[in-house]
Amino acid sequence: MRIGIITGASSGMGKEFVKLVLSEQLRLDEIWVIARRQDRLEAWQKHYPDENFRTLALDLASRDDIKSLQEELAESGAQIALFIHCAGFGIMGRIDEIPVEEQLEMVDLNCRSVVELTTTILPHMEKGGRMIYVASAAAFLPQPGFAVYSATKAFVLSFVRSLRAECREENYDITVVCPGAVRTEFFKRAAEKKHLPAYKKMVMADPKKVVKKAWKDSLAGKELSVYGKPMKLFHTASKVLPHKLFLHFMGRQKS
């Protein structure tokens, strides 16, 4: 059985990736959609009754839930042709303002689960399979007021780039996606207690366009997908200008 797995599939970019995969006609026997909210996952089967979905209501910050995925894969004997990882969250605020439990939850979901999921799926990936990981432009440099989140996404960027290098012989197509602010539910939670900085509002992107660009870049074999001229400029600037300049500017922004 040949399958695709999409995490964070109940909303935002994960939801858009599911729609895109359906439109691409990839000859998958099943699409496994993963998110915490069972009711939203079941909506996929309702709206696309002719598609073979397997809905897995899992909290990827939970090691027990990832173990359930491991068992599901072992029992099914499935070969993974496509893996798209979109699950993640962020919270805005100073480090001393955010409860430590929420900061550690970010680290668990955004970092630890990426490692555990990857080691879970690799034995089941078909040769030449496609893997897409959603990180963030926040990975390019530290961000005051978004410190833990930006650090977790820097981890994802580094991890996926290393993974790509390690998996050359298996011929996997591995791309890491680093968008700026995207118009999704993400920022409802991220900015729950804070106002979104003006510079993020100015570059807010359409998730459909970000996903379309990410897919195009993946098909082209690109390591990194960055959507939009402002974020491409930001990425270039973050490599050539001292981070001290960015930190000074961001630190002055009112939250």
Determine the pLDDT at residue 242.
80
What's residue 254's pLDDT? 47
State how far the Cα of 158 lies from the Cα of 154, in Å rounded to an integer.
Answer: 6
- DSSP labels for the chain? -EEEEEESTTSHHHHHHHHHHHHHT---SEEEEEES-HHHHHHHHHH-TTS-EEEEE--TT-HHHHHHHHHHHHHHT-EEEEEEE-------S-TTTS-HHHHHHHHIIIIIHHHHHHHHHGGGEEEEEEEEEE--GGGGS--TTSHHHHHHHHHHHHHHHHHHHHTTTTT-EEEEE--SSBSSTHHHHHTSSSPPPHHHHHT-B-HHHHHHHHHHHHHTT-SEE--SHHHHHHHHHHHHS-HHHHHHHHHTS--
* Nearest by Cα to 135 from 10, 64, 227, 66: 227
Written as tens digits, the pLDDT of the chain (255 aa) is: 999 999 999 999 999 999 999 999 899 999 999 999 898 999 998 899 889 999 999 999 999 999 999 999 999 999 999 999 999 999 988 999 999 999 999 999 999 999 999 999 999 999 999 999 999 999 999 988 899 999 999 999 999 999 999 999 999 999 999 998 888 766 555 445 555 555 555 567 899 999 999 999 999 999 999 998 988 998 998 888 887 777 777 655 544
Of 75, 91, 172, whose CA–CA distance to 128 is shortest?
172
This prediction's pTM: 0.89
CB 156, CB 137: distance < 8 Å = no
